[in-house]
Structure 1
Amino acid sequence: MGMCPIPSSWSATTPRLLLLHHLFLISLVSDMEDAHHWPMVERRGTHLWASGRPFIIHGFNTYWLMSFAADQATRPRVTAEAGLNVCRTWAFNDGGHRALQTAPFHYDEEVFQALDFVISEARRHNMRLILSLCNNWEDYGGKAQYVRWGKEAGLDLTSEDDFFSDTTIKSYYKAFVQAVVTRINTTTNEAYKDDPTILAWELINEPRCPSDPSGDTLQAWIEEMASYVKSIDPMHLLEIGIEGFYGPSTPELFPVNPDEYSAHAGTDFVRDHQAPGIDLASVHVYSDTWLPHSIEENHLQFVNIWMQKHIDDAANLLGMPIGVGEFGVSVKDGKFGSEFREAFMKTVYGIFLSSWKGGALGGGCLLWQLFSEGAEHMDDGYAVIFAKSPSTLSLLANHSRSLES
C-alpha cells in the first residue's frame, strides 16, 4: 500500500503516536503471559502457538512508529497503552529524512535506538511486532533507493527490479538485514534475533517484479533471502509480504485475481510460499483500489472469493498459517463510507474466524491502519480513528470476543 512520506520536520504538536488508550479499552485478544515468561510465537503446521496454546493475530498496521520515536518531541507518545496483540511496522527507512540506513553499510545510531525503543515499549505493553525489512515502493526509500545507491556506485542498472537480481544490490540488502536482525537493543540489552517480542520478520512489503512476469526472478530472490535470514535467525517466523496474486504456477487460478495485470506482476502466491524457510502465508486485501469501478456488493463478493481461496491454499497446498497483513477501505475520496468499510471488515474477519473455528488453519488479520485523534496529517485515507469511529471499536471488540469463545 502506498504511504504518506515522513514530514520533513517535527514539533511538539506532532500528533500522538498509535499505542493509545482507546485500544486499551477494548476487550481484545492478547497474550497476557506471565511478565517473566514471554515465549516465542512458533508455527505448528497450519497454526501459530505460544505458551502451549493457539496464538491468533488480531492486529493492526502503523508503519511510522520508528520515525516518530526517532524524534524527542514525539517519542513520549509511543508509550501509551494498547490492547491489540500484534502491530506490523517498518524496521527500515532507506535514505532521506531520518533514515535508518543512510547509505549501504551505514546506519544512523539514533534512529536505531528509536527502533530499540519501539520494540521495548511493545514488550512492556504485551504486544508482538511484525517487522518489515524493505519496501517495494519508493516510500521510505525501498528498492528504488537501493538501485539509486547502486547507480551512484557505478553499477549498470536499468530498472528498479534490478534490486532482485543484481549481486551488489543484494549484498546491500543482506548487510542491512544482518544489521537489524543481530542488533543488540540498547534499551533491553537483548539481541533482536533472541527477542520474542518480534513475532515475525517480513522480507519486503508488497514485492512486485513486472520485468519478469514468469516469476523466476522474484522466486530466486525469495529463496536466497529466506535462506539468509534463517541462517542468522532460525528462531523467528518469516513471511514474504506479498499481496497474494496468483501467478504462472497456477494459471487455472488467474480468474481469482482482481485483474489481468495481477498475473503478470512477477509474483506467484503458491510458488513463492513454497520457498524453504517461509512460515506464514501473506496476503493483502484492497478491493477498493483493485476493483475501482465495482459496486459495493461486488467488492464483498470478491473479498469472499479472494479470502477463501487463499485460506484453502494456505491450508491444503502450503500447510502453513495465513497472515492477512493488510486490509482496509479508503474513505478519502468519498466513494466509500465508514458503513461500507465496516461491512468490508466484518467480511474479512468473518471468513478468517470461520476457518479458524473449523480447525483448518491459524494466523490472523492486521487492519490497515489505526490512528489516534490528531494524526490526520499521516492519514492515507485508510486510517481508522477510534475517537471518531465508536462503531468500529465495537466491531473489533466483537471480533475479539469471538476469537476468545
Structure 2
Amino acid sequence: MTLVALFALVSFSASFASASLFPKVGTGLKFEIENTTTYVRGTNAYWLPFQNNLEDIDLALDHIAASGLKVVRTWGFNDVTELPPPGVPYFQAFLRGGPPQINTGPDGLQRLDYVVAGAAKRGLKLVIPFVNNWKDYGGMPTYLKYYGGLSNKDWYLSQRAQEQYQKYINVVIGRYINNTAIFAWELANEPRCQGCDTSVIANWAAQTSRYIKSIDPNHMVTLGDEGHGVPGDSTYPYGTSEGSDFVKNLAIPDLDFGTFHFYPDAWHVKPESGSKWVQDHAAACAAAKKPCVFEEYGLNGALKCAKMRPWQKTSISTVGMAGDMYWQAGDALSSGLSSDDGNTIYPNTENYDCIVTEHAKDSTARRRR
C-alpha cells in the first residue's frame, strides 16, 4: 500500500470516531483512554517519522507496544532551509525567494501519516510537538533565519513567524483531527526564552493553545516545557532564567495537563534530587487540578537503573502524577542502532529490563489497587 493510499484509509476510518474514544483528562488527576482511567507509561522516539525503511517504523512500534507502553512522543516537525536530496524527509521548507512550503508528499508528512497509522493499529497513542526550541530538525532557529531575529524571544514575538507556525499547525491537525491515536498536541519541544520575562512564553502559549482548541476540540493540548519555575528549591531547574514559570503556564485554560523533564547531567544537579523534582511538580499540578506528565527523563552512561527507578516509583505513587515517558526508546534497525545520545534504552538490555519491564509491573499493580 502506498503512503497516499494509507493516509486516505486512516483518515476515512478515523472520521467516524466517537468522542468518547479520544484520550482525555479523567477522574483523580489521571487520563481516560478508551473509557479506562489510568496512569500512562510511555516513551520518546522522536526519530520514528524520519526512517527511510518503513519496516523499521513497524519494528520499533511492535517492540514498544509489546513492552506494555501506551504513549509515544515523536516529532511532528522537520524544518529545512535547503531542499534535501530525494528520499530524505522534510516537513517544511523555508527557501529564499519564495513562501515557506509545507511538504505533504511521500518524503513529507506522509511519513508521519505512517507513524500515526502504525500507532493506531497497535493501540498506541502519540504526543506530537509542532516545533523545536533547538536547531535539531530545524525548529525556531529555522524560522528566525527566514524571518529575521537573533533570539527565541524574536520568534515568540514575530507576527510573521507565528502566522506560519499556525499555518503549519493547521495542516498537521487537519490530517488527524478525527484520529483517536493522537494523545495530545504539543506546542513545542522544550520552549525557552532565556532571560525573558515569563509573560513572553505564557502569552504565546495562551494564544497558541486557544488557536488549537478553536480548530480541534477533540484532542488534548499541552505545552511541552521542561518544568522550570516551580516552587521548592533555589537550584537552576527551579528558577525562571529560561523564561518559563511552570505554575503560571499551568493556569492557562486551554492547556489540559502539565509537562516537565529531568536531565541531571545537563543541569548539573544530583540524580537523587529527581524524586523531589517529581513531587514538587505534582504538588503544583494537584493545586491547579490538572494532571502532570513526567515527559522526558534520562541519564548518560550504561548503568541507569539504580538512579532512575526511584524517579519512576515516585511518579507512580504521587498525587498529581498521571504518567511518565522515559527518554528514549531505541531499537536495532535495518540501518543499525537508532540514535543514541547516551540516554537511549534498547530492548534486551539490563537497563530495559529495569526501566521498562519492571516499571510496567509497578504501573499495572497500581492500576489494580
TM over 0.5, yes or no?
yes
Once the two structures are superposed, the pairs formed by residues 186-225 of structure 1 within 5 Å of their partners are 192-212=176-196, 214-225=197-208
- Deviation at 1:161? 2.3
The answer to whether the 8 A contact 1:315-1:361 is kept is yes
- CA distances 1:250-287 after superposition (whole Å, capped 9, x unpaired): xxx36254458x42110000001111200010000111
Q: Residue in 2 aligned with 1:171?
A: 163
Taking the aligned partners of 2:56 and 2:232, their CA distance within structure 1 comes to 45
Taking the aligned partners of 1:130 and 1:377, their CA distance within structure 2 comes to 20
- Deviation at 1:51? 3.4
Question: Which letter does structure 1 place at the counterpart of 2:46?
Answer: Y
TM (normalized to structure 2)?
A: 0.83
Taking the aligned partners of 2:299 and 2:125, their CA distance within structure 1 comes to 24
The answer to whether residue 182 in structure 2 is matched with residue 182 in structure 1 is no
Question: Which letter does structure 1 place at the counterpart of 2:271?
Answer: H
Equivalent residue for 1:307, pick from 270, 278, 283: 278
The verdict on how the C-alpha distance between 1:254 and 1:79 changes in structure 2, with shifts beyond 3 A counting, is same
Taking the aligned partners of 1:175 and 1:90, their CA distance within structure 2 comes to 17
Q: Which runs of 5+ in 2 are unaligned?
A: 1-16
- CA distances 1:81-138 after superposition (whole Å, capped 9, x unpaired): 2231110000110115421011354122222111111100000011000011110000
- CA distances 1:307-354 after superposition (whole Å, capped 9, x unpaired): 1010011011x11011111011111xxxxx41xx11233112111211
Taking the aligned partners of 2:262 and 2:358, their CA distance within structure 1 comes to 18
- Deviation at 1:396? 3.2
- CA distances 1:170-202 after superposition (whole Å, capped 9, x unpaired): 10100100010012xxxxxxxx11111000001
Q: Residue in 1 aligned with 2:74?
A: 89
The answer to whether residue 45 in structure 2 is matched with residue 39 in structure 1 is no
SS of residue in 1 equivalent to 2:332? coil
Taking the aligned partners of 1:193 and 1:270, their CA distance within structure 2 comes to 29
In the alignment of these two chains, the number of paired residues is 328
RMSD (Å), alpha carbons:
2.1
The answer to whether the 8 A contact 2:282-2:321 is kept is no
Question: Which letter does structure 1 place at the counterpart of 2:126?
Answer: L
Q: Residue in 2 aligned with 1:323?
A: 293
SS of residue in 2 equivalent to 1:182? helix
Question: Which letter does structure 1 place at the counterpart of 2:249?
Answer: D
- Deviation at 1:211? 4.0
Question: Which letter does structure 2 place at the counterpart of 1:39?
Answer: L
Equivalent residue for 1:398, pick from 347, 357, 361: 361
| Stretch moving more, 215-224 or 386-395 | 386-395
The verdict on how the C-alpha distance between 1:322 and 1:158 changes in structure 2, with shifts beyond 3 A counting, is same
Q: Residue in 1 aligned with 2:3?
A: none
- CA distances 1:137-174 after superposition (whole Å, capped 9, x unpaired): 000001000111113xxxxx332321100111110100
The answer to whether the 8 A contact 2:222-2:259 is kept is yes
Determine what percentage of the aligned residue pairs are the same residue: 26
Taking the aligned partners of 1:363 and 1:245, their CA distance within structure 2 comes to 19
TM (normalized to structure 1)?
A: 0.76
The verdict on how the C-alpha distance between 1:321 and 1:49 changes in structure 2, with shifts beyond 3 A counting, is same
Once the two structures are superposed, the pairs formed by residues 362-377 of structure 1 within 5 Å of their partners are 362-373=321-332, 375-376=336-337
Q: Residue in 2 aligned with 1:58?
A: 41
SS of residue in 2 equivalent to 1:387? coil
SS of residue in 2 equivalent to 1:365? strand
Taking the aligned partners of 2:188 and 2:245, their CA distance within structure 1 comes to 15
